[in-house]
Structure 1
Amino acid sequence: MTATTTVTTTATTSAAAAVTGVGVVLPGLNEPGGLRHGPVAGADPVDPAALIGKKGLRFKDRATQLGLCMAAAALTDAGLLGPRGLLVPGDRVGVVVSSNLGNADTVCRAVATIAEENTGALSPMDTPNASSNIIASEIAIRFGLRGPNLTVCNGVTSGLDALRWARLTLRSGRADHMVVAGVEPDNDVTRRLTGARMVDGGAAVVVSRTDAAGAAAPRVLLGPSFRTEKLPDCVAALADAVPGPAREAAAGLWLGPDPSAVPPGGETADLSGWGDCSGALGLLHCATAVAWADSGRTEPVYALLGGAGGEASGTVWIPVERAA
């Protein structure tokens, strides 16, 4: 039997969805412009209380605290959150979180407690943190977001897949805005499980329908999105994704793939210096695309996640033309 490769796309033209807000939460960095320059030497770990206040952070795990910080920053940047709360109807704002190891420390601690003692020894304040959707749930509760609420934790492609789910939710008409956050904590448990230092932070964006009221002006448009069986097929699909003059033989910024896989004319950027980003990487790519557009660059940004021998997910962001 001859193997075939299927390319699945969520759109064949630029979708009616755009990034309208971004929040970056990393040691020493709280805006997307510095992502490509790598970690800030000597920076202290992020202090969530200094960013959003101590109220409501007690008993929250590290990943949830970081997720709340980046969601607050993205909602504020998008013009949806003011000093007195949400400025648009909460039932029209949803949440998608990408995190593969977000609450692994809580889960491991709970399992150890049960093994060493019994279920009665579990802390009633800590137990809710063992739920796999705790980050998305707490973001929704904190900011009154009553739209669809999802968590994606499917490995290396998780961040870009979360953006695809947000876009599909907008296209279905179930929401006008989606907060999409990618976050991973750095602790003894995550280091033991991965064998690497984790990013201890991440990024969130607000993706809005371009016809929705109440949001800030679009920063970048979400172009075509692909999911393929193999990485090279996704590279080829992305290279052909942007029609007309904007494409220019795939010129632009490529995030994620090996530099040797980038078509001629493309620039590359590597975010690996921040540590193992896991589920946060796709959202850090999106924040980098916003920074690229904010700097005045008009070429598309292509992001790709996946392994050479496995499934891949890719997305194109197209900078919005700004008036002179």
Structure 2
Amino acid sequence: MPETVRTVLRAPARPSAVAVAGLGVRLPGASGLSGLLAPSALRRFANEAPEHEHALAAATDAMAAASPRTPGAPGAGGSTATVWASSTAGLAAYAQTCADITEFGPGRVSPRRTAHSAFTAPVTAVSVRFGLDGPYLNVTGEQDAGAQAVTEAVRMLTRGRCERVVVGGSADTSAWRSRPGGDPAEGALCVVLQRHAPYGGGAAVRPVLRARTARDGIDAFVRSCLERLDGPPDHLVLSAPATDTRAAGARALLCAAPLLRVEERLGDLGAAGGVAALVTAVALTAAPGPLEQPGPRVLALALGSGNAVAVEVTSRRKGPR
């Protein structure tokens, strides 16, 4: 039977690109952009911490990298929104709170734990800790949810709802994330996006397509993505559940472009995997090159249960220093 794909566009056919102002990476096997490009066997940190603390750590790094001197950076004026993706945020903390109330009684459990026991724990923690005054949005689901968080962040910027967005994803390794054939990992990644390009160039992010696909329709989805690009991609970054066999179709279709699979290098981050695909794409465009020359074009794909999201990352190289 022919492949089928039912496309549901969430943005204009040619949405505007926005600029990357800062990045934050807090993963057991990667502490910066370069670490995302090499496989790592580490999936957990040495010291156990709740998911919202991973989110805060990554957001701190991203906001520190987005200097206030950069137009549109945090602290440079204008509102800042927050968009965060997670598959099971708050569930582990909620389960522990319920167990503690049962064992010790309701009067023995601090009410301050309530915020950390909600599925909005990471986005709330980031927004409150840094006093971000724009709207905030929580996105849940599988790997596609992380890429959709990026798409929603771009839409907020292009529609003028804010001057910048702190967008990220986080994960823990609690029992809530165990699945057959999975390799759960913990950590967080964060990106500060803004409408204006930072001084000296940098990476630009443009949503390409969001669609609901049949299980055998991923090839048709990728073809649709290629038709929306200005040129063939130099790299493909893919994030999908370990049990998702559609990845093979994407690899075969784009055999001319090297494929980097997020889950093979970093483990299964759930919804945060979609954000990891974006940050990895930025890492691929960050290599030094001739000043003011275009860098690689990278297509980041994130697949979930019947959903697929694609984001394009390009850059204007800063050149060697």
Q: Please, what TM-score do these two structures have when normalized by structure 2?
A: 0.81
Closer/same/farther in 2, CA of residues 259 and 202 from structure 1, 3 Å limit: farther
Structure 1 residue 319 and structure 2 residue 315: aligned? yes
**Corresponding position of 1:179:** 166
Question: Residue 98 of structure 1 contacts residue 181 of structure 1 at CA under 8 Å; is this kept in 2?
Answer: yes
Per the normalisation by structure 1, the TM-score is 0.80
Match of 1:58 in 2: none
How many angstroms apart in 1 are the aligned matches of 2:127 and 2:81? 8
Letter in 2 for 1:317: V
Q: In 2, distance between residues paired with 1:311 and 1:111?
A: 33
Evaluate the alpha carbon distance shift between residue 280 and residue 171 of structure 1 in structure 2; reply closer, same or farther with a 3 A threshold. same
Following superposition, the deviation at residue 72 of structure 1 comes to 0.8
Spell out the pairing of 1:158-173 with structure 2 (5 A cutoff).
Answer: 158-173=145-160
Residue matched to 1:258:
247
- CA RMSD of the aligned region, Å? 3.1
Aligned-partner residue type, residue 256 of structure 2: G
For residues 229 and 320 of structure 1, the distance between their equivalents in structure 2, rounded to whole angstroms, comes to 32
Q: Is 1:140 the equivalent of 2:127?
A: yes
- Equivalent position to 1:64, from 48, 52, 56: 52
Structure 1 SS opposite 2:9 = strand
The residue number in structure 2 matching 1:268 is 259
1:200 aligns with 2:186: yes
| Aligned counterparts, 1:1-324, within 5 A | 5-13=6-14, 15-39=16-40, 45=45, 62-80=50-68, 87-89=75-77, 92-113=79-100, 119-120=106-107, 122-187=109-174, 189-192=175-178, 196-210=182-196, 217-230=200-213, 231-243=218-230, 247-248=231-232, 250-256=233-239, 258-261=247-250, 262-272=253-263, 273-296=265-288, 298-307=295-304, 310-322=306-318
Cα pair distance change 1:264/1:145, threshold 3 Å:
same
Question: How many residues were matched structurally?
Answer: 298
User: Hey, what does 2:243 align to over in structure 1?
Assistant: none
Following superposition, the deviation at residue 118 of structure 1 comes to 6.1
Q: Deviations over 1:129-183 (max 9, x none)?
A: 1222121111112112111111111223110010011111111211111011111
Change (3 A) 1:116 1:194: farther
Q: Do the aligned residues in 1 keep the contact of 2:205 with 2:313 (CA within 8 Å)?
A: yes
- Residues 153, 35 of structure 1: alpha-carbon distance in 2 compared, 3 angstrom cutoff: same
Question: Equivalents in 2 of 1:271, 1:66: separation in Å?
Answer: 18
- Equivalent pair of 2:21/2:193 in contact (CA under 8 Å): yes
